[in-house]
Amino acid sequence: MATVAFIGLGVMGYPMAGHLKSRGGHDVTVFNRNNAKAEKWADAFGGSHAPTPAAAAEGKDFVFSCVGNDDDLRSVTIGENGAFHGMKQGAIFIDNTTASAEVARELDAEARKRGFHFLDAPVSGGQAGAENGALTVMVGGEADAFERAKPVIESFAKMVGLMGSAGAGQLTKMINQICIAGLVQGLAEGIHFGKKAGLDIEKVIEVISKGAAGSWQMENRHKTMNAGKYDFGFAVDWMRKDLGICLAEAERNKAKLPVTALVDQFYKDVQESGGSRWDTSSLLARLEK
């Protein structure tokens, strides 16, 4: 059993912290900006909660974070009462936020100065993956720190891989989101085309999902897309944030992302149509309006 802190109890962090306690058996202290949610988590899982990130992190072996963006991450780490002020020597900070590779490298350098380790470890699998403890975790950082942290991370993951040095986890997550964007747009166009052609979409998917067109998105989202229901996962607002990170990184490394840039604009259309909180499969709604 390890001593663990978890900072950020959103739709992902809440169940992830829960798995660290219930499945991993660790001693878990949580922090959340909304203290009522931290109290609720502590009551539900039998852990404890702290008034600041620094207090949550103090003396812990492992400290996790899962917050909104680069600025949020800086706030809970190096900001006033941030977790980095409470980290003990040799501890490991594991960030599960989807953020930029730049902030990962920045915080890795700061952690080194302070005598502890930093791993950027964004996740994929959505709310369902978090709730089921079946996330995929892409990690950047030192190999020794990764090996120490891996058994703890596995409390909420089905796959944990070291991608390279600091920032490599975030870069891998960018590739993940780039691939998803194209797949969802293709699926949306396929369903839209099938409807216009007068085909039975369920019969079509039953057949093509077993061939080269098959994907996680097809298996898990086609039914709700076909029914015009878009409240089953990762919100459009968050996808646009992630694609913005991808496109900014592409500007830096000179990668060409024409499809990603186009789909990002399609998601902007969805936002402007009132679908900011719909899930990413709502690209179909844009075609059907």
Q: Which of 121, 211, 203, 131 is nearest to 167 (CA)?
A: 121
Instruction: Provide the annotated active-site residues.
Output: 173
| C-alpha pair distances (Å), 118 with each of 34, 67, 271 | 25, 16, 35
38-71: b (≥16 Cβ within 10 Å) or e: bebbbeebebebbebbbbbbbebbbbbbbbebbe
Q: Which of 162, 159, 167, 173 is nearest to 139 (CA)?
A: 162
Q: How far apart are CA 170 and CA 97, in angstroms?
A: 9
Sequence-ordered alpha helix ranges (H) in 120-215:
126-132, 143-153, 168-196, 201-208
